[in-house]
Amino acid sequence: MEKLKKIIRDVPDFPKPGIIFKDITPLLKDPQSFRDIIDAFAEQFKNKGIQKIVGIESRGFMFGAALAYQLGIGFIPVRKKGKLPWKTVSQSYDLEYGTDTVEMHADAVETGECVLVVDDLLATGGTAEAVNLLLKKQKAKVFGFAFVVELEFLKGREKLVHHNILSLVKF
């Protein structure tokens, strides 16, 4: 995982001043690194009764879809408001300034279905917490969360108590 840490690119002041953006595109471009990530997730989450992967737009789709394929289970996209074409359920959450909303299709998960949430990065945990609430509303069983990167100093993990949380690279 040290190799992964090195390959992730820091982009200062993106998308706004003061933010150091963790750019995972060099990692996606490197076939061995991409494979190492999916293999590590699959090893951790195989044979756990997980029935669907829930990927968070948009970088969660890249890792989540590959993991769903590897585990031989279905994939559910969670998107920003207004992107999904059919009937949706939604959950709003607070940002530093204002709010944002995540949505999924109303028939995406079955009652009691066991799901794993995947995203590229855990920062403050606001997004993952909103997805967790959305899934709870739909009566899914949230097995846990998988992230490629965790920014530990932002303490996002504290918003996701009582869950299995895996992050492969910690800063």
CB-CB contact of 150 with 156 (8 Å): yes
Amino acid letter at 137? K
Work out how close the CB of 92 gets to ligand AMP at its nearest, in angstroms, rounded to a whole number: 13
- Active-site residue flag, 158: no
Residue 171 touching ligand AMP (CB under 6 A): no
Contact residue for ligand AMP among 55, 64, 77, 156 (CB under 6 A): 156
Report the nearest approach of ligand AMP to the CB of residue 96 (Å).
9
User: Does 9 qualify as catalytic in the annotation?
Assistant: no
Decide if 125 contacts 151 (C-beta within 8 A): no
Give residues 104-123 in contact with ligand AMP (rule: CB under 6 A): 119-123
Number of residues that bind ligand AMP (CB under 6 A): 17
Region label for 163, one of left (φ > 0), alpha (ψ between -120 and 50) or beta (otherwise): beta
Cβ atoms within 10 A of the Cβ of 76, count? Answer: 19
9-12/20-23 β-pairing: antiparallel
Residues interacting with ligand AMP, by CB under 6 A?
19-22, 56, 59, 119-128, 156
